[in-house]
Structures are given as C-alpha cells and as structure tokens.
Amino acid sequence: MDKNITLSLCMIVKDEAKTLERCLSSVKSFIDEIIIVDTGSKDSTKDIAKKFNAKIYDFKWVNDFALARNFSFSKATSEYILWLDGDDFIDDKNIKNIEDLLCNFDKTYDYVSGEYILSRNSNGEVSYSLRRNRIVKRSMNFKWIGHVHEYLEVYGKGMIGEFAIEHGKVKEYTDRNLQIFRDMEKKKLVFTPRDRLYYANELKDNAYYKEAVKNYKKFLGTKQGWIEDVKTAYSKIVDCYKLMDMKDKVPSIIFESFQVDIPRADLCCSLGEYYIEKSLIKQSAFWYRVALDCRHEKGNPAPDLKDYYTWIPSLQLCLCYFKMGNLNCSYFFNELAASFIPNSEKIEYNRKYFKDEFNRRKIEPPKINYPIKTSDYVEYL
C-alpha cells in the first residue's frame, strides 16, 4: 500500500486472547509497526501479537492507564500513531476509508478524530457512538492524562476523519475501574472534575446510586466540566433517580439542566416518559417532539445517542397520539419510526393494528409522503 505517512499502532493489553487477532487483522494492511504493551497477561495474548510481528513490552501495572499508554507511545518510531484497545476492530468499509485517508494524508494535520461505535441496536444500526482522537503526529508528543478513563490531550490542527472504529467487548464486566477510583480516594489524591464524573459513572454502573448522585452533584458543583459532560451528568442523575424509585425528582433536575444549555434528546425523552406515566399526555407529546428536533452536531466528540432522537420518540409519539384519539397522527409516527428501524416487530405489530382499525372504521389510512420528514406530522393533527 502506497501511503503518504508511516503509522505505528500503539496498544496496552492484558488477557486479550479472545479479541486481539480480530483487532490486529483489521489494521495489518496500513500499519507499519505494532507496539504492544502487556500489563500482565496470563493467556495467549503475547503469542497472538508475535504472529503479527509486534514489538512487545512488559509493563508493571500500577493502576494508571495514562502511564501505560504514554509508555506505549514512547516506543513508536513512525510519523504518526494510531491507538486502539484489544477489543476494538475495524470493518472492511472503514479499513478502506482509513487506507484512502492515509494515501492522501496532509501532513499539516496534527491529529485526526474518528467515530467510536460503542453499541448497535437489534437491527445492527449504530445506537451509541462518540468521537475519539485516533491518529496523532508523533513529533507533537501528545500525552495521556488520568489514572482511569484516560484521555489524550491534543492541540494544533485537527481533522474530522470519515472512518469508524468498533468496540467489540467480550470480557466480563468487573469493578476494576471503581476500585482504582476507590484507591485514589483512599490515598487522598486530587480528583479533577473529569475524575469526579467518571467516578460517579463507575458508582452508578456498580449500583451505588445514592453515592453516584452525590458525586455527580460534586462534579456539577465545580462549574468546570465540559458542557457535554455536564449534560451527561444530569442524564445519569435522572437514571439514578429512576433506579431508586425517586421519579418525582426527575423534572426538577432536567429543568435545571436546561439552564446550562439547550435540551438534549435523552433528557427530553425522560421528561416525555415522566409525563406519560402521570397520564399527562399532551406534555409528554411535547417533550418527545422536542427530542425529535434535537440533532447531534457533526464532529462533536460527545456521545451520539441516536435512538433518543429517532425511533424512541417516534414510537412514543405514536402512543401519545393514539391516547389522544388522533389515529392519523399516531399512524404517521409509527411510519416515522419505521424509517429508522424498518424491521422492528413493534412497528409491524402496530401496522397490523392500524390496518385492522382503519378497515373497521371503513376509512383509508392517511397518505404518507416518503421520504418521511419529522415536521410533516402537523399535516395529520
């Protein structure tokens, strides 16, 4: 392959035998060297890495991801560095996208971000993704920061890359990250606002909901968080209130979030859910419509929660308008949901119901103009 730059792959791994070959096979066409930093594998991780002629380094694990990642970067010799985790991989389409990028690469760029796909829905469509800075110029000497949930601090000229990397986790979940934060707390280490947020996330994921809310509020109280992290903290507090059966606190915390920035789709959907459970259907429909109007800005590194501004509010609006007695509008929103998840059993069930109901009433279903637009619902009110 005739590339315009040389590229090193840098990874830190431990017991990645189930996924490492998949990962390395997906990058072999465009990588010049592979740096593997092993933090204590007991399985065949190193043997797999050797098959790809990787340069393997042992690194004593000291509960510090940034330290290990910075060590891996220090071993690279190419012009640019790509970093991946052992359970990441790249599909054929995105391999081609990366190859095209590297063949025509403009060396004035210091870093390139790529989409990071974290989950897909039952139809195989991306439901949760974000952007990560993936390819960086080695001479810039960028550093990783943070004991856990580390991030790469970059500056200079950046590019929004038209490629995606998939996270294909197969390892069982552990509380390792929570214990790292607990250890930091025990040693009375200084928590950055970002540390506080991710500590709260770990507490939530391990069902310490009350403690999680306390730490989310500590994070919010710093007034120093990135705005998208602030909105995420509010969303996570809402989740905790639901899980603690404290749903009456949901509206106030969401409305508080609206004082710091424009509404986010997942928060609007939570309001819609709250009001529909209270049988306040008009209020519920209002917030689900707001969710549909929300959009994720291209290149924004924040989580892209696609389902919350596509099919989730569409199906809920189908229900809301049905409850309000507007069959035509209910039918429209079911068809809108179908434009996002065409093979859904829920949609097909609703279609059968609508067909039977229109036949029973001896009327024709409303004509839908395709491709469907969310704003078209007003024609069916």
Across the chain, which has 381 residues, the per-10-residue mean pLDDT values are 92 97 97 98 97 98 96 98 97 97 96 95 85 97 96 97 93 88 95 96 97 98 95 97 98 97 96 98 98 84 87 97 96 95 93 95 90 85 77
Which residues make beta-bridge pairs with 142? none
How much is the pLDDT for 6?
Answer: 97
Residue 55 in tokens = 């340069």
CATH number at residue 127: 3.90.550.10
**Pair type for strands 151-153 and 80-83:** unpaired
How much is the pLDDT for 2?
Answer: 84
How much is the pLDDT for 99?
Answer: 97
* Residue 318 and residue 143 in contact, taking contact as beta carbons nearer than 8 Å: no
Beta strands in 270-336 (DSSP E): none
Number of domains present in the structure of the chain: 1
Query: Whole domain around residue 160: which residue ranges?
Result: 7-167
Is position 35 within any domain? yes
Is position 116 within any domain? yes
How much is the pLDDT for 296?
Answer: 76
How much is the pLDDT for 292?
Answer: 95
Is position 370 within any domain? no
C-alpha angle 18/23/25, rounded to 5°?
Answer: 110
Distance, in Å, from the CA atom of 189 to the CA atom of 62, rounded to the nearest integer, reads 15
Distance, in Å, from the CA atom of 108 to the CA atom of 97, rounded to the nearest integer, reads 19
How much is the pLDDT for 299?
Answer: 75
Helix (H) or strand (E) holding 93: helix 92-103
> Pseudo-torsion of CA 190, 194, 198, 200, nearest 10°?
70
Is position 136 within any domain? yes
Distance, in Å, from the CA atom of 244 to the CA atom of 188, rounded to the nearest integer, reads 29
Is position 141 within any domain? yes
Residues 6+ apart with CB under 8 A from 81: 7, 8, 9, 10, 73, 135, 136, 137, 138
Is position 64 within any domain? yes
Is position 331 within any domain? no
Q: Is 304 helix (H, G, I), strand (E, B) or coil?
A: strand
- pTM for the full predicted model: 0.88
How much is the pLDDT for 300?
Answer: 76
88-89, strands of its sheet edge to edge? 55-58, 33-38, 7-13, 80-83, 126-137, 111-120, 158-167, 88-89
Residues 6+ apart with CB under 8 A from 295: 309
- From 183, 250, 233, 178, select the one nearest 208 (Cα to Cα): 178
Distance, in Å, from the CA atom of 136 to the CA atom of 205, rounded to the nearest integer, reads 31
Is position 145 within any domain? yes
How much is the pLDDT for 373?
Answer: 86
